[in-house]
């Protein structure tokens, strides 16, 4: 190991796992999870910048507006460099690469079995050293607008997007990650450079490497990368979002063969920090399986009655900026399903979850979390994204077995018994909600 006293080693003896962490001189937080003997290597570079970041205050105290879709646009353009398409450069080295923009973060990653150092050089170079011109930005606008229109023709996407607009009044999570045609057309190279300078500073980012790699090799790559010098932090501005839902119901008519529904409940992430947020995430994950999984009483009742099919799905998400519990599926009996869910939740809120079912689900999820330590790409994503949200992925992967019935019952009583938002997409000749 190089002589860097800043490197901290955390050892988890029960799992025979360890992680090395340090803050690079540039401010970039680095996590290295060694996997001796593994052939595959994975690198994940994430920034705390997503579609919800539509406003910030710069070093001069000036408030800057960011057009919707800018984070996504920036992600696309960072793959174009003066020496060609970055994806082709990764492919030439035998590495698979990709990127994604979410509500709260943007990330870039690659995995390979050879040429790791050269691939890491490419990752650091293309993410930290942007290349925008008027011509390549204008060309990209047409591509992204086409992508937006494609999603707007997808009934499943429209249904979930409409649900977000019901749940949230002003939080930018209600906006499409890719933006609108109008917002995308307003983006300029100058805006992209300004956003890159504001949000792609190393102290707003995290690099996670998993595999049979040395700390020295990662440090040497950072030295070669010539990362931007340490800068102060800009202030991210978020609107004050009410705790209650914004709207109760919406209906869209589209070219679809079946009626689609999305039900949603709005959680309050401000109540949870650090390990509390970790436990809330895990309790929500257990709750959705116990209450609405394919072996639950409600699922079997609705399925056997012909009210739902295999598309029925529950999800719980909570991040620093938003939180929601959602249910989705396809059915011509949305009103019946809605009433059955309300009665089901009310009944369980009085009696609590079944202890045997709770224990079985919790133990199964705990086992899958422990097995995840052998999934390099999952580990890299988890550690990088959790760090940016102020959480510890080790806590998440090892705490599932400690979640209590009370925590799951709290979600049922204080979240699922709250107001429900309902988004329906139906073909012509449907019904009113």
Helices 215-225 + 116-128 axis angle, to 10: 40
Identify whether the C-beta of residue 247 lies closer than 8 Å to the C-beta of residue 165.
yes
Residue 82: strand, helix, or coil = coil
Q: What is the DSSP string of 129-171?
A: S----HHHHHHHHHHHHHHHHHHHT-HHHHHHHHHHHHH-SS-
Q: Cα–Cα distances in Å, from 86 out to 83, 110, 194, 308? A: 8, 12, 22, 44
Q: Give the CA-trace dihedral at 167, 170, 173, 179, to 10 degrees.
A: 120
Q: In the Cβ-directed half-sphere of 431, how many Cα atoms lie within 13 Å?
A: 11
Q: What is the DSSP string of 216-261?
A: HHHHHHHHHHTPPPP-PPPEE------SS-S-SEEEEE-S-SS-EE
Is residue 332 annotated as part of the catalytic site, yes or no? no
Categorise residue 267: left if φ over 0, alpha if ψ from -120 to 50, beta otherwise: beta
The CA distance from 372 to 368, in Å, is: 6
Identify whether the C-beta of residue 326 lies closer than 8 Å to the C-beta of residue 262.
yes
Q: Cα–Cα distances in Å, from 296 out to 283, 292, 293? A: 16, 6, 5
Identify whether the C-beta of residue 244 lies closer than 8 Å to the C-beta of residue 265.
no
CA neighbor of 165 nearest in space, from 422, 390, 347, 350: 422
The CA distance from 365 to 377, in Å, is: 18
Pairing of strands 17-23, 84-85: unpaired
Q: How far is CA 12 from the centre of its chain?
A: 26
Helix H segments across 305-392? Answer: 334-351, 355-371, 376-388
Q: How far is CA 175 from the centre of its chain?
A: 15
Identify whether the C-beta of residue 377 lies closer than 8 Å to the C-beta of residue 109.
yes
Q: Which of 17, 21, 75, 321 is flagged as catalytic?
A: 75
The CA distance from 310 to 294, in Å, is: 9
Report, as residue numbers or ranges, the catalytic residues. 75
């Amino acid at each position: 190991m190089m002589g860097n006293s800043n490197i901290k080693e955390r050892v988890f003896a029960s799992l025979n796992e360890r992680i090395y962490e340090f803050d690079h001189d540039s401010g970039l937080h680095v996590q290295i999870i060694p996997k001796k003997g593994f052939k595959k290597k994975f690198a994940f570079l994430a920034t705390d910048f997503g579609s919800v970041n539509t406003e910030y205050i710069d070093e001069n105290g000036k408030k800057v507006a960011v057009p919707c879709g800018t984070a996504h646009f920036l992600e696309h353009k960072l793959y174009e460099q003066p020496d060609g398409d970055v994806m082709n450069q990764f492919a030439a080295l035998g590495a698979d690469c990709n990127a994604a923009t979410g509500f709260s973060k943007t990330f870039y990653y690659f995995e390979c079995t050879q040429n790791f150092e050269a691939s890491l050089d490419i990752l650091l170079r293309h993410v930290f050293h942007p290349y925008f011109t008027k011509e390549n930005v204008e060309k990209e606008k047409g591509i992204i607008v086409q992508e937006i229109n494609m999603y707007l023709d997808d009934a499943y996407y429209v249904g979930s997007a409409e649900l977000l607009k019901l749940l949230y009044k002003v939080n930018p999570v209600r906006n499409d990650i890719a933006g609108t045609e109008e917002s995308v057309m307003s983006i300029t190279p100058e805006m992209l450079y300004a956003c890159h300078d504001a949000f792609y500073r190393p102290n707003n980012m995290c690099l996670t490497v998993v595999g049979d790699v040395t700390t020295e090799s990662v440090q040497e790559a950072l030295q070669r990368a010539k990362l931007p010098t340490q800068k102060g932090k800009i202030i991210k501005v978020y609107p004050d979002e009410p705790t209650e839902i914004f709207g109760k119901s919406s209906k869209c008519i589209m070219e679809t063969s079946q009626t689609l529904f999305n039900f949603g409940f709005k959680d309050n992430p401000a109540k949870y920090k650090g390990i509390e947020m970790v436990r809330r995430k895990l309790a929500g994950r257990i709750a959705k399986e116990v209450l609405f999984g394919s072996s639950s009483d409600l699922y079997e009742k609705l399925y056997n009655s012909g009210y739902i099919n295999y598309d029925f799905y529950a999800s719980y998400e909570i991040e620093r900026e938003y939180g929601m519990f959602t249910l989705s599926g396809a059915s011509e009996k949305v009103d019946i399903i809605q009433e059955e869910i309300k009665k089901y939740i009310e009944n369980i809120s009085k009696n609590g979850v079944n202890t045997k079912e709770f224990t079985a689900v919790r133990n199964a999820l705990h086992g899958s979390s422990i097995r995840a330590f052998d999934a390099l790409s999952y580990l890299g994503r988890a550690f990088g994204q959790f760090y940016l949200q102020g959480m510890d992925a080790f806590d998440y992967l090892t705490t599932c077995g400690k979640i209590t019935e009370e925590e799951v019952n709290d979600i049922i009583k204080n979240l699922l018994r709250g107001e429900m938002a309902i988004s329906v997409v139906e073909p012509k000749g449907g019904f009113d909600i």
